[in-house]
Amino acid sequence: MLKPKMGSVMDVLLLVVLVVGCGCLNNTNALDSSGGSVSILEFGAIPSNSSNAACWANSLALMKAIHNVSDSSSSSPSTVLIPQGFDFSSFPIQVSNVSGVTLRIDGHLLASKNISAWPLDKNKRCIDFMLFTNVSDFVITGSGRVDGQGYDWWWLTIFTVIHKERPHLISFYTSTNVIVENVELKNSPSFHLRTHDLIGGIFRHITIRVDVDQQKQLYRDGGLMQTLQHPLTKETIEIPTFPLNTDGIDPAGKDIHIYNCSIENFDDAIAVKPSHRGDLSQCSQNMLIENCTVYFGVGMTIGSVPPNLQYNCVRNITFRNINSHHPIKAIYIKTNPGTDGYGIIDNIVYENINITYPLWWSIYIGPQQQKQPDGRGPGCMLYPFGGECPTQPRVPIYNVTLRNVDSTNGLLSPGVLRCNATKPCTGIVFDNVHVSGDHWPADNFICENMIIETTNTSPRPACNNTTPDMSPQMARTKRQAVRVDQKIQE
CB 237 within 8 A of CB 228: yes
Tell whether omega for the bond before 33 is within 30 degrees of 0, i.e. cis. no
Q: For residue 24, give Cα distances in angstroms to 71, 92, 404.
A: 17, 20, 57
* Degrees to nearest 5, angle at CA 440 with 325 and 468: 90
Number of separate helices (H) and strands (E) present in the chain: 5, 32
Report which of 405, 404, 445 is spatially closest to residue 425, judged by C-alpha positions. 445
What per-residue confidence (pLDDT) applies to 487?
Answer: 43
Taking the model in full, what pTM does it have?
0.87
* CB-based contacts of 27-32 (< 8 A; 24+ apart in sequence): 28/68, 29/68, 29/72, 29/76, 31/77, 32/81, 32/83
What contacts 392, CB < 8 A, 6 or more positions away?
Answer: 306, 307, 335, 336, 337, 338, 367, 420
CB 395 within 8 A of CB 422: no
Q: Using CA of residue 219, residue 223, residue 226, residue 231, what is the dihedral sign?
A: positive
Report the chain's terminal Cα–Cα distance, integer Å: 52
What per-residue confidence (pLDDT) applies to 377?
Answer: 72
What per-residue confidence (pLDDT) applies to 132?
Answer: 98
CB 402 within 8 A of CB 446: no
Strand pairing category for 253-259 and 225-229: unpaired
What per-residue confidence (pLDDT) applies to 60?
Answer: 98
What contacts 245, CB < 8 A, 6 or more positions away?
Answer: 166, 190, 191, 267, 372, 373
Q: How many CB atoms lie within 10 A of CB 382?
A: 14
What per-residue confidence (pLDDT) applies to 75?
Answer: 64
CB 4 within 8 A of CB 52: no
- CA within 13 Å, CB half, 223: 1
User: Tens digits of per-residue pLDDT, 109-159?
Assistant: 999 999 999 999 998 899 999 999 999 999 999 999 999 999 999 988 877
Report which of 304, 309, 311, 310 is spatially closest to residue 273, judged by C-alpha positions. 304
**488/490 Cα distance (integer angstroms):** 5
Q: How many CB atoms lie within 10 A of CB 302?
A: 28
**Residue 216, SS3?**
helix
What per-residue confidence (pLDDT) applies to 465?
Answer: 57
From first to last of the 490 residues of the chain, give the pLDDT tens digit: 345 554 443 343 344 334 333 333 333 334 443 448 999 999 999 999 999 999 999 999 999 999 999 987 666 679 999 999 999 999 999 999 999 999 999 999 999 999 999 999 998 899 999 999 999 999 999 999 999 999 999 988 877 755 557 999 999 999 999 999 999 999 999 999 999 999 999 999 999 999 988 888 888 888 877 777 766 667 777 777 667 899 999 999 999 999 999 999 989 999 999 999 888 899 999 999 999 999 999 999 999 999 999 999 999 999 999 999 999 999 999 999 999 999 999 999 999 999 999 989 999 999 998 776 666 677 788 888 878 899 999 999 999 999 999 999 998 999 999 999 999 999 999 999 999 998 888 889 999 999 999 999 999 998 865 544 544 443 443 444 344 334 433 4
Please give the backbone phi and psi of residue 8, each rounded to the nearest 5 degrees, phi first: -75, 165
Which residues are 141's β-sheet partners?
A: 104
Rounded to whole angstroms, the maximal C-alpha distance in the chain is 77
What per-residue confidence (pLDDT) applies to 89?
Answer: 98
How many residues comprise the chain?
Answer: 490
Q: How many CB atoms lie within 10 A of CB 357?
A: 14
Which residues are 385's β-sheet partners?
A: none
Instruction: Supply the Cα-derived Rg of the chain in whole angstroms.
Output: 24
**Residue 68, SS3?**
helix
**82/317 Cα distance (integer angstroms):** 34
What per-residue confidence (pLDDT) applies to 4?
Answer: 55
**Residue 56, SS3?**
helix
**398/427 Cα distance (integer angstroms):** 6
CB 433 within 8 A of CB 457: yes
What per-residue confidence (pLDDT) applies to 322?
Answer: 98
**298/260 Cα distance (integer angstroms):** 18
What per-residue confidence (pLDDT) applies to 244?
Answer: 85
What per-residue confidence (pLDDT) applies to 227?
Answer: 77
